[in-house]
Each structure stands twice: as C-alpha cells, then as structure tokens.
Structure 1
Amino acid sequence: MTKIPLAIIIPVYNEGLNIGTVLSAIDKNVSTPHRIYLVYDFDEDDTLPAAQQFVDQGHPVTFMKNPQRGVVSAIKTGLKTAAGECLLVTMADMSDDYADVDKMYRLIEGGADIVCGSRYVRGGRQVGGPFIKKNLSRAAGLSLKIIAGLPTHDSTNSYKLYRRKVIETFEIESDGGFEIGLELVVKAHIAGFRIAEIPTVWHDRAKGQSRFKIIKWSPKYLKWYLYAMKNALFTRGNSK
C-alpha cells in the first residue's frame, strides 16, 4: 500500500517547558513520514519560541493558529486543516507514548479507519492522574464496549489516529474539550467504520498545568456516552 502522509496534531497552550521533549520523542520514535502541526491560541504562547528552534533545525513542524481559543477548537482546526491522509491527535505534555505511532499507522495500512490508543487493554496502563478521572474513564470505556459494542476498551482517550475520510464524513459537534475523541469514535462505529485499538501507556504530566476540566466537561462526555447507549438499545429493539 502506498504510504499515507501522517499529520500529527498537537494543541498547545504555554507548553514551552514540554514541547522540546515532545518533539524530540516524536523524532526519535516515529519513522512513518509525518508533519507536526502545533495549534496555538495566541501569539505570545511560550510554546512557539521553544518549538522554533526545532523548525530552524529542519524538523517537520508547522505552526497553525487557532481561529478561536480553546482546546476543542484547536483539535477541530488541526483535523480540518492539516495536510495528511492520516491524522493523529496527541497532547504536548508527554502523556502519550510515541513508540506506538508506527504500530497505529500499520493498522491503518491494514484497513482500520480509526486506531485507538487503549490504556485499559492487556499491555496498556495509566500512570498517575486523578483517581476519579481514571476510574470514570475506565468504567465508561468498559460499559461502552460491553453494552454499546464499541470495539475499544478506551473510547475516551484522545490519543487516536484517524483516516481522513472519517473526519470528512461527520460534522464535529463537540464544544467542550477532549470529548471530541469520544464523539468521533461513537459516530464512526455507528456508521460502520472499522475501529482498532492497541495497548498504550499513558503518563500524567510532569511539567506545566493540565487543561483537563473534569467537572466542566463531564456533561459533554455524558452526551456522547448516552448517544452510544441509546443507539445500541434502539438497534437491538429493531432487530427483534
């Protein structure tokens, strides 16, 4: 199969302390041809001068300004605008394991439309992070797999690789934050796209401040959780 260009989308917000480590880790671990898109909100973001050093050294990094502030808008902007037939969403805090990227890409080459990095499958795990967030995420992923039939144990994880046609198929409705990953995997499953998963190890950030807002965003996740559950019940009801 012809190589599919890979776009790595990273929403950033004052990640000057982390971005050098992230870009170095991607350079070390990802052999799939790729370009990195740093999506930022404002020109004073301290990520930009730290990342510019890598640009000056010839690294495949592009700065992309978010037309609206906020992480969900940054992810949408990256998904809609980045050039590439495969689109990876990852964070700028070294929480994701970039040794997984080539494996995820190979699954796309093998026919998958979405590949989910899963913390809750054999070989995956979550290191650190708030107790409530961790257990809510695990419970949501397990129940969505068992009851709604989603083919992943970790539907809430943002670390996903999408084939472009998936992104072009749906209008993204998310308006909160990282629930966008759950929205897309739920809609893709219902539409019949092929979803795969691989184990991944997630680490809580060591530097900087997390942008995850569990109280504010929980209702946003709940919307897509219930959407998946209602669809599963409706489908089963009609099949009887």
Structure 2
Amino acid sequence: MKLSVVIPAYNEEESITQTLETLYQTLVKHGIDHEICVTNDNSKDNTLAVLQNLQQQIPTLVVFTNLGPNGFGYAVRYGLERFSGDCVAVFMADMSDDPEDLVKYYHKMRETGTDAVFGSRWQKGGKVIDYPGVKKVINRVANFIIRIMMGIRYDDTTNAFKLYRRETMEGLKPFLSPHFNLTVELPLKAIVRGYNYEVVPNSWTNRKYGESKLKIKEMGSRYFFILLYCWIEKTFSRGDYKKKTVKPAVEVSR
C-alpha cells in the first residue's frame, strides 16, 4: 500500500528542509512505499528553491506550485487532486507533526482495514509541546462545540494530521474550504458520510522557525460555516452522500 503525504508550504524556507529530511528518513527506515507531495503555495521567500534542491537528495519528493488562488486549504486541495498513492496523509511543513506518528497511522490502517485514521493530541498517549495557552483554550472550546453539534465522541477534529484511503478522499469531494477550515471539513464529511475510522494518539510540537499561518480571528466564521454545512448534510441529506457499500454476491443453486 503506497502512502502519499501532502504538505502545504508557504514561506517555509527555514523549516522545510528538516521536515522533509526527517520524514523521508523515517519512512525509509520503516520500509514504507511512499511519495512526499509538497505544494509550494506561491511562497514569497526561497521555499521553492529549497524544495528544488531537496529533490536532488530525496527521490520520493514531488513538488507542485499553486499559483493561485492561494491559502492553506487551496494548497492542500492542490495536492489532494494530484497524489498517486493508495492512501494520503495531510502533514505540516513546520515539523509540528511527528513522522513516527504517521508510521503508526499507516500500520493502523493496514491492520484494521479502516477508511481513515485520525490523530488525537488530547487522549491518553497524546501530547503537546509548547502549545500556546490561549490557543489551547480556543481549541478545546471549538472541539467541544463540534462534538456537541455533530453528536460525535472524537475530540480533535481541528487536528489537520490525518490519514485517508484514496477511496475515502474521493468520497469527500467536492471540497469547499479554501483555508484552515478544510481540516474540519474532511473528517466531518468522512464521519457524516459513513466512513469508518480509528483514532491514534499523536504529538504536536510548536514550530521553531517562522510564524503560524493560522489567524484565529479570521477563521472563526469560516470554521462555523463548514461546521454548519456538515450539520446540514447530516440532518437533511437523507444519506444521499453516504459511503456506497457493495453487497457480496449471493450464489444461487440450480
């Protein structure tokens, strides 16, 4: 089973080298067939030049450039329309996600045959390092609202770091979110549309270089829009978008 890793990158020249080298070395160490798809989201720094140089060192690195429209969601979607693997993970360029956790996701999917694997930083075994206090409060409140409104138990919907089978990702289209609200759209659609998933504890580490692209003040209404959309689909769609299950053929004796 080939793993694709989609990484959006905007002005990440300081972080991207360590992220890609560590990710590649980890996947090779565990013998995982893979490709690393980085979408350069029209960066204004030297991100593209760094990526082109890294292609000489990392044979599984594929570089896309999204000329526009730009934004986190658009960059991720650009990669999700072009990956070649049997499953695909969204991974951050700033090394906030741990490649060893991705290996756990991958093996969990293979062992269970599940449609998706979601990470949780807040369940037993998960951890956060240098997580800003205000951001943590907002995160916990937002996820509580999502749980109550959608009637789910999963506690880390806003965590972008997740793994989906190709068939699952196809079943979540069309994508709506142009920004960070895509991180909410994908898992909620998967849940609403009947795809099964496993939850694996994961870790998160605050970036060492650059600045976060997530602007909380700008995202509140966008998160609410996509949450409301998914609630409407769950409540009123009458299962029109549900995962299609193929019934096994019944042998008829003659």
- Whole-Å separation in 2 of the counterparts to 1:27 and 1:89: 15
Contact 1:35-1:60 within 8 A present in 2 as well: yes
Q: TM-score, normalised by structure 1?
A: 0.87
1:165 Cα deviation from its structure 2 partner: 1.4
Deviations 1:42-87 (A, max 9, x none): 3764122223333212431111111412221110111111111211
Tell me how far apart the structure 2 counterparts of residues 42 and 179 of structure 1 sit (CA, whole Å).
20
Q: 1:91-137: per-residue Cα shift (whole Å, max 9, x none)?
A: 11110111111110122222221211211111112222433322222
TM-aligned CA distance change 1:85 to 1:45, over 3 Å: farther
Q: Which residue of 1 aligns with 2:174?
A: 171
Query: Counterparts of 1:193-208 in structure 2 under 5 Å?
Result: 193-208=195-210
The more displaced of 13-22 and 25-34 is 25-34
The alignment covers a number of residue pairs equal to: 231
**For residue 96 of structure 1, what is the amino acid of its counterpart?**
D
Contact 1:20/1:50 (8 A) holds in 2: yes
Provide the C-alpha distance between the structure 1 equivalents of 2:83 and 2:235, rounded to a whole number of angstroms: 36
Deviation of 1:182 (Å): 0.9
Partner of 1:59: 59
User: Residue 143 of structure 1: CA displacement?
Assistant: 4.4
Q: What residue is the counterpart of 1:186 in the other structure?
A: 188
CA shift, 1:147, in A, is 5.5
The residue aligned with 1:71 is 72
The TM-score normalised by the length of structure 2 is: 0.82
Q: Are 2:51 and 2:63, in contact at CA under 8 Å, matched by a contact in 1? A: no
Deviation at 1:228, TM superposition (A): 4.8
Question: In structure 2, what is the equivalent of residue 80 of structure 1?
Answer: 81
Q: CA deviation at 1:180?
A: 0.6
Q: State the shift of 1:227 in Å.
A: 4.2
Q: Give matches, 1:37-186, under 5 Å.
A: 37-42=37-42, 45-68=45-68, 69-109=70-110, 110-145=112-147, 148-169=150-171, 170-175=173-178, 177-186=179-188
Q: Determine if contact 1:66/1:77 at 8 Å carries over to the other structure.
A: yes
- Give distance in 1, aligned partners of 2:83 and 2:45: 20
Q: Pick closer, same or farther for the CA change 1:151–1:61 going to 2, 3 Å.
A: farther
TM-superposed CA distance for 1:12, in Å, is 0.7
What is the CA RMSD across the aligned residues, in angstroms?
2.2
Task: Tell me if structure 1 keeps the 8 A contact 2:101–2:203.
Answer: no
Moved more, 85-94 or 53-62: 53-62
Identity of aligned residues (%): 33
Moved more, 18-27 or 44-53: 44-53
Deviates more, 1:85-94 or 1:144-153: 144-153
Q: Distance in 2 between matches of 1:231 and 1:117?
A: 24
Q: 1:9–1:39: 8 Å Cα contact kept in structure 2?
A: yes
Task: Report the Cα distance in structure 1 between the residues aligned to 2:116 and 2:13, rounded to whole angstroms.
Answer: 30
**In 1, distance between residues paired with 2:139 and 2:46?**
31
Structure 1 residues 21 and 223 mapped into 2: Cα distance closer, same or farther (>3 Å)? same
